[in-house]
Amino acid sequence: MTPVCGVDEAGRGPLAGPVFAAAVILDPANPIAGLADSKTLSARRRELLAVEIRGRAAAWAVACASVEEIDALNILRASLLAMRRAVEALAITPGEVLVDGLHRPPLSLPVRAIVRGDATVAEIAAASILAKVGRDAEMLVLHGRHPQYGFNQHKGYPTAAHLLALKEHGVSIVHRRSFAPVRLLLVPRDEPVARRV
């Protein structure tokens, strides 16, 4: 039977850090119980399932697109780039790639986009878990380098605490300059206030 690969991303909405993607080919002989959309699982449950996926899947890979690539390409294209990198890094070439959402990464393989695939397709659910766990781990690394922003708490998402930290400490090298809340803080202070609001 031709292997099917599930793909999902994590981190399209945050103001900082890379966007991650994962690709997973499950092993029918090694089923994993409890796979679900990563957003519906606790952090602890995601961590436990990620260990199971990495140990029992037929093949898996995690990749990312950098903040610089996000700013150069836009977040959608950067997400698709991360997805492509994850699929191309798999040790097994899948016969079909199933992607969560509406958009398909550019690949030389058959690709099918499935809306809410992370809730209905086990391979995509597994990919969503690995992508989220991988990105959260990266945000903890970035927190160690830039503790003033609180990345360990909000993982770069535009919470009130994050927006306040941005105003207090300015924009770091790991913030996405193309995202409006960050971009507005980069406008020179001597420009008219109307341009900065």
- For the stretch 145-173, pLDDT in tens is 999 999 999 999 999 999 999 999 999 99
Domain edge (last residue) among 135, 166, 181: 135
Q: Are both 86 and 166 inside the same structural domain? A: no
- Asked whether residue 161 is assigned to any structural domain, the reply reads yes
- Is the pLDDT at 195 greater than 60? The verdict is no
Q: Chain-wide mean pLDDT for the chain?
A: 94
Q: Are both 105 and 173 inside the same structural domain? A: no
Q: What is the CATH number of the domain that holds 41?
A: 3.30.420.10
- Asked whether residue 104 is assigned to any structural domain, the reply reads yes
Task: Report the pLDDT value the prediction gives residue 188, as an integer from 0 to 100.
Answer: 66
Q: Are both 109 and 185 inside the same structural domain? A: no
pLDDT band, very low/low/confident/very high, at 187 (cuts 50, 70, 90): confident
Contacts of 30 (CB under 8 A, 6+ apart): 56, 57
- Asked whether residue 142 is assigned to any structural domain, the reply reads no
Question: Tokens in use for 1?
Answer: 């039977």
Q: Are both 158 and 73 inside the same structural domain? A: no
DSSP class of residue 107 equals: -
Domain residues for the domain of 159 are: 147-196
Q: Are both 157 and 127 inside the same structural domain? A: no
- Tell me the pLDDT tens digit for each residue of 46-77: 999 999 999 999 999 999 999 999 999 999 99
Q: Are both 56 and 127 inside the same structural domain? A: yes
Cα–Cα distance for residue pair 4/14, rounded to 1 Å: 30
- Is the pLDDT at 9 greater than 80? The verdict is yes
Q: Are both 93 and 151 inside the same structural domain? A: no
- Tell me the pLDDT tens digit for each residue of 78-103: 999 999 999 999 999 999 999 999 99
Q: Are both 23 and 94 inside the same structural domain? A: yes
- Asked whether residue 140 is assigned to any structural domain, the reply reads no
CB atoms closer than 10 angstroms to residue 178: 15
Cα–Cα distance for residue pair 129/115, rounded to 1 Å: 17
Domain edge (last residue) among 109, 135, 161: 135
pLDDT band, very low/low/confident/very high, at 37 (cuts 50, 70, 90): confident
Q: Are both 71 and 119 inside the same structural domain? A: yes
Q: Tell me which residue has tokens 């994590």.
A: 10
- Asked whether residue 33 is assigned to any structural domain, the reply reads yes
Domain count, the chain: 2
Task: Report the pLDDT value the prediction gives residue 167, as an integer from 0 to 100.
Answer: 95
Cα–Cα distance for residue pair 171/132, rounded to 1 Å: 24
- Asked whether residue 29 is assigned to any structural domain, the reply reads yes
- Is the pLDDT at 197 greater than 90? The verdict is no
- Asked whether residue 163 is assigned to any structural domain, the reply reads yes
- Is the pLDDT at 192 greater than 70? The verdict is no
Q: Are both 96 and 175 inside the same structural domain? A: no
Q: Are both 110 and 159 inside the same structural domain? A: no
Q: Are both 56 and 12 inside the same structural domain? A: yes
Q: Tell me which residue has tokens 């294209």.
A: 77
- Asked whether residue 141 is assigned to any structural domain, the reply reads no
